[in-house]
Amino acid sequence: MAEQGSGADRTRPARRRRWLRVVLVVATVLALAGAGAVVYVVQLAGRFNANVHRSDALSEAFAETASPTPSASSPSVPKLSKDTNILIMGLDSRLDENGRALPQDIQNALHAGDDSGGFYNANVLMLVHIPADGSRSTAISIPRDDYVQTAGFPGAGFKTKVKEAYSYGFAAKQAALLGEGRPNDDATYQAARDAGRAAELATVSAFLGGVRIDHFVEITMVAFYQVALAIQPITVCVNRATQDTFSGADFRAGTQQINAQQAMAFVRQRRDTSDPSYDFTDLDRTRRQQAFIVSVLHQLKQAGTFTNLPKMEGVLDAVSKNMAVDRGLDLLQLAQQATSLTGGNISFSTLPILGFGTSPDGASVNLVDVPQIQATVRALLAPPAPPAPKATRTTAAPTAAETSPAAGPASPSSAASATPKPATTTYADWQGQLQGGSVPCVK
């Protein structure tokens, strides 16, 4: 007769069954959560791409058809198949993408006047070059007052500030459509906006030496403000205390955290009204804009926002309703492909000027040497040189100092002092390259 098992022996199968049920429940929950995450990603991507204003300006500017928008629900994201150039255009208009005046509370926060100011000038122009091999990206700021030859709209060919190509293209198209008897409605307005974008794209491309522009992103001041609201507080750093009653800037020296309204002042400041001897110019404002982008990229990376879609949701919702892009650009997929951008592996440069001057109509402009500009752009966009081959290491006979017992091992303190210090993040002026990956301290 078999010996009867103990109570402990009898409970083991029951425990195993309970654990199996627990494991199955957990696995089911995880599977459902994973499926829910996929649905969430697809819905978020769909909502984002639906909110963004799509424009045909790129094909109008260069008479080529943009590629179709990639599927946001693709299970895997391929690497970039070619180097990609994106022109970022920041408008100073106090209107939204539909030409409506901004709410008064936002106008107050922008500290930039009412909707009677600004018009359609591209006050921020930045060409971002993203290599397909994942190496360091390059951003080139084009000073807004550079005196250049216009292109891309009827009657173009005259010289003006580079930022004004947009407004000239807009005005020419709007006048032509109204002259044909078209109603002054949203369709006419949007057609004029596309013409303004096309004029800016064509003018910038020609100025830089025929640089190919694959995509563009247009953002308004309100989009910038709403993104800042979504990610505030933002860490920035300035070299010295400074104030400006025009932009509302009031910053102490050093690293500090600022809110969205202060962020607007940070990127718009171009003078110091507290100290007339402080030589603060529009080019220093360009450097501020670069530093702000680097600081935000660094902050979002440190917080894991790029890999946490719920965290990104507020940012995406904020920016998508107040921006325009070409039809072939999927920003979510680009963020996954262009890891050099989201990883902070990017450098920023500002194109050089010869000095300040006055145009025939009395406007203050930046004088530029076009061949120098185009040579600078070619150098910045050129692929990096391959690393030099490493020299073969030979073992030399030890010196007396190395073999002497008196020398002994290096102390921890001496080893620490021998460790190279991290590269500085302080930039005295707007010249030279500003590197990503940290919080820069700027003028």
Single-letter amino acid code for the residue at 372? Q
Q: Look at residue 357 and give its three-state secondary structure.
A: strand
pLDDT recorded at residue 49: 64
CA-to-CA distance for 222 and 318, rounded, in angstroms?
9
Q: How many CB atoms lie within 10 A of CB 209?
A: 15
pLDDT recorded at residue 368: 97
The DSSP element (H or E) to which 365 belongs, if any, is strand 364-367
pLDDT recorded at residue 111: 63
Is the Cβ–Cβ distance between 162 and 368 less than 8 Å?
Answer: no
Single-letter amino acid code for the residue at 68? P
Long-range contacts of 185-189 (CB under 8 A, 24+ apart): 186/98, 186/99, 189/98, 189/99
Give the residue from 95, 73, 158, 139 showing the smallest Cα distance to 332.
73
Give the residue from 105, 88, 343, 86 showing the smallest Cα distance to 225.
105
Structure tokens at 410: 């290096």
Question: DSSP labels for 169-202?
Answer: HHHHHHHHHHHTT--SSHHHHHHHHHHHHHHHHH
Q: How many CA atoms lie within 13 A of 240 on its CB side?
A: 9
Q: What is the pLDDT of residues 272-327, one digit of tens each?
A: 999 988 888 999 999 999 999 998 888 877 776 666 666 666 667 767 777 899 98
Question: Could you tell me the strand order of the sheet in which 84-91 lies?
Answer: 53-55, 323-326, 215-219, 84-91, 122-130, 137-141, 346-350, 434-435
CA-to-CA distance for 298 and 440, rounded, in angstroms?
10
Single-letter amino acid code for the residue at 342? T
Is the Cβ–Cβ distance between 198 and 169 less than 8 Å?
Answer: yes
Which residues of the chain carry a pLDDT beneath 50?
A: 2-3, 20, 23-41, 64-75, 117-118, 391-424
Q: Which domains does the chain have, with CATH numbers?
A: 47-382+428-442 (3.40.630.190)
Q: How many CB atoms lie within 10 A of CB 395?
A: 5
Single-letter amino acid code for the residue at 121? N
Q: C-alpha 106: how far from its chain's center?
A: 22
| Residue whose entry in the numeric block shows the structure tokens 């400006």 | 244
CA-to-CA distance for 267 and 225, rounded, in angstroms?
11
CA-to-CA distance for 91 and 163, rounded, in angstroms?
9
Q: How many CB atoms lie within 10 A of CB 173?
A: 23
CA-to-CA distance for 85 and 146, rounded, in angstroms?
21
